[in-house]
Structure 1
């Protein structure tokens, strides 16, 4: 029962993002409405957990490693997005570009000081799960590790402390991608002269392809960041993909196949091969 509730909660985020993106005329309105929606959703999840608990340790670990961070991470992101956009001094020009650049540098500094140098960050990024019972079970907080003072303010019945860490990682990735898209030239196609060479499928299809190549370490042995790969494809195909991380997280929770375009490529390739038989 709980698994279905958690799955539906993540799906509702994607659906709400789509609805609001269609209705909203400005990112300020979109970010505010998503903040309110996610705040209420997080409250509902808390009420469910406090009332029902977890059926086993595996469910508890999955909730604090995957479910809650997806909700809280998006909440942190949209709240930050709202504050950044409402503080932007102008709507265009060099001053706007400088403003977003400053926000990006500040985000990088916070990331360097508080996230990327920690043992937990390396553990989480490596995909390890052997210490999940220490990081994502209630009542396992190790105060001897010199934790951030935020730990004293959290609800011990609805947080393991490290679920917040994962949420911050998700939020920072989304914010980084958004700010980068704001300072990237709008007309990437100007960097190539071949007007007959361009992407004709959907943006989501290209993003899915980019992430697949990145996940498989098919480019430079996996040593190139997803951001750099996306920039190359955007220049090559003369297309602006915008916030690819946001799109990727929507793909992760969409109904049906999460790899629609890759499935289509496989079927198309097999049909093409069959022509030669």
Structure 2
């Protein structure tokens, strides 16, 4: 049996990009991604149950690195769908407080049920000494006083701890998503924005130029080997340069059909760099 993580991540990203290009509502996009990922997870499960694992290491790799990526995003998109379809208004103070309260709740849940657990510290430390216990089927030790969720999982397709990693991944994605819904200038967590150290760092070109740069870095897999999505990259640049980016996806798709060069800013960057190099000759 061969299930390649890079191929799975590529399929997920392709589906995300395809849905984004359709300019649908966030709720609709999240719903379609939920259906897509649920079907993908079902196909993977059928393959695992049919073919089994070649050896112990393949089993560990699957439950530690592969399944959590799919399940984590599935949990995340389902949560986004629920959040967007229960949002009381589309803007204003109530809209703002709605997302701020969700962020506070997420932080509280993280502190209470995730960060204080031994397994979370094990996972964050990138340890491997207990992988044979955490990520192999049939190794659950009920004497550890596990949470009741252990009785709700399919033990033929879960080690329990793969579900825990999936929830960690989902919560991190959700945290980033909620930050993008809150005005960074009013967000106390955006230390880069409010800190004095970078108060003079700002983006002085157009929004379209910055969006062009972000997509170029994304398309070339230049940051984190392409594992960071457009939304997260956009948030990073918004925080770093203290500038809001509205309708990133829509702006990009307008660039694709604009007259003249579709990469005007990147062309100018190349020209400016070459001119700067020529000064030293």
TM-score range, shorter chain: 0.7 to 0.9
Asked if the contact 2:68/2:165 (under 8 Å) is kept, the reply is yes
Q: Does residue 1:148 correspond to 2:143, yes or no? A: no
Q: CA deviation at 1:3?
A: 3.2
Equivalent in the alignment of 1:3 = 3
Q: CA deviation at 1:274?
A: 11
Partner Cα separation in structure 2 for residue 17 and residue 169 of structure 1? 20
Partner Cα separation in structure 1 for residue 22 and residue 161 of structure 2? 35
Equivalent in the alignment of 2:121 = 122
Asked if the contact 1:151/1:161 (under 8 Å) is kept, the reply is yes
Partner Cα separation in structure 2 for residue 49 and residue 160 of structure 1? 13
Asked if the contact 1:10/1:67 (under 8 Å) is kept, the reply is no
Q: CA deviation at 1:234?
A: 3.2
Equivalent in the alignment of 1:19 = 18
What is the number of equivalent residue pairs in this alignment? 237
Runs (5+) with no aligned partner, structure 1:
213-225, 244-268
3-state SS, counterpart of residue 62 of structure 1: helix
- Structure of higher CA gyration radius: 2
3-state SS, counterpart of residue 141 of structure 1: coil
Partner Cα separation in structure 2 for residue 273 and residue 60 of structure 1? 52
Partner Cα separation in structure 2 for residue 11 and residue 130 of structure 1? 30
Q: CA deviation at 1:209?
A: 7.3
Q: CA deviation at 1:129?
A: 1.4
CA RMSD of aligned residues (A): 3.8
Per-residue deviation, residues 138-197 of structure 1 (Å, max 9, x unmatched)? 1111111111101012111100000000000000000000001111248999x7696746
Q: CA deviation at 1:109?
A: 1.1
3-state SS, counterpart of residue 3 of structure 1: coil
Per-residue deviation, residues 21-47 of structure 1 (Å, max 9, x unmatched)? 111420010000000111111111110
Q: CA deviation at 1:229?
A: 7.0
3-state SS, counterpart of residue 90 of structure 2: coil
Q: Flag the 1:77–1:47 CA change in 2: closer, same or farther, 3 A.
A: same
Asked if the contact 1:73/1:166 (under 8 Å) is kept, the reply is yes
3-state SS, counterpart of residue 157 of structure 1: coil
Asked if the contact 2:73/2:169 (under 8 Å) is kept, the reply is yes
Runs (5+) with no aligned partner, structure 2:
188-192, 194-198, 226-232, 249-272
Asked if the contact 2:201/2:240 (under 8 Å) is kept, the reply is no
Equivalent in the alignment of 1:76 = 75
Equivalent in the alignment of 2:269 = none
What pairs with 1:186-197 in structure 2 (closer than 5 Å)? 196=204
Partner Cα separation in structure 2 for residue 143 and residue 205 of structure 1? 49
Per-residue deviation, residues 72-131 of structure 1 (Å, max 9, x unmatched)? 000000000000000000001111000000111111111111111100001101111121
Equivalent in the alignment of 1:234 = 241
Asked if the contact 2:201/2:241 (under 8 Å) is kept, the reply is no
Asked if the contact 2:37/2:74 (under 8 Å) is kept, the reply is yes
